[in-house]
Structure 1
Amino acid sequence: MASSSTLKRWLRPEVYPLFAAVGVAVGICGMQLVRNICTNPEVRVTKENRAAGVLDNFAEGEKYAEHALRKFVRNRSPEIMPSINNFFTDPKY
């Protein structure tokens, strides 16, 4: 009986955006967790890698830090809608 009223309370169309937002946030956290475990040069999961100790491998660290998203946004304007911003701030329009 209690589970039926709980389903009726939370599975309404008004709650779908909340589920979507939480799902996206959990997905981003999961993606970052997998990225850190798999590609971070300071994280060593296997016993052989942990036995190696501290390595000064700067090239691997640079490769990890300069990922594809950072390279994509490096030379772009830090604006979400540059054309609208230029329309309202540039006096020549």
Structure 2
Amino acid sequence: MGGYSRWIKPEIYPLLAPVAAVVGLCTMQLVRNICTNPEVRVTKEHRAAGVLDNFEEGEYYAQHRLRQFLRGKRPEVMPNINKFFSNPN
């Protein structure tokens, strides 16, 4: 335990959560791109296909569920507070 006490101190515990969250988001995006991006070809057979005109698959990749959920919403962080201060009664 002698070497760990030099690097792992109680002061850094609050920093571990944001760092772990960022590493998790980066990992999720990397896996998403490798597994579902139509322009990424990992296997040799797919790379040999060359340039494909697969617009439907590209549109499906670009319009993911989060983007579909946010499509009709206004770009506001706190809409109730915005309505309260912008519409005085």
1:56-75: per-residue Cα shift (whole Å, max 9, x none)? 11001000000000001111
TM-score normalised by the chain length of structure 2 = 0.90
Amino acid at match of 2:74: S
The 1:4/1:37 distance shift into structure 2, 3 A limit, reads: closer
Question: Where does structure 1 lack aligned partners over 5 or more consecutive residues?
Answer: none
Identity of aligned residues (%): 64
Measure, in 1, the Cα distance between the counterparts of 2:79 and 2:66.
Answer: 19
5+ unaligned residues in a row in structure 2: which ranges? none
1-structure distance, mates of 2:18, 2:58: 32
Q: Partner residue of 1:61?
A: 58
Q: Deviations over 1:41-87 (max 9, x none)?
A: 00001111001000011001000000000001111121121001111
Describe how 1:14-93 pairs up with structure 2 within 5 A: 14-92=11-89
Q: TM-score with structure 1 length normalisation? A: 0.86
Number of residue equivalences: 89
Please give the alpha-carbon distance, in whole angstroms, between the structure 1 residues aligned to 2:65 and 2:14. 29
- Counterpart CA distance in 1 for 2:43 and 2:73 is 39
Deviant stretches of 4+, over 4 Å: none
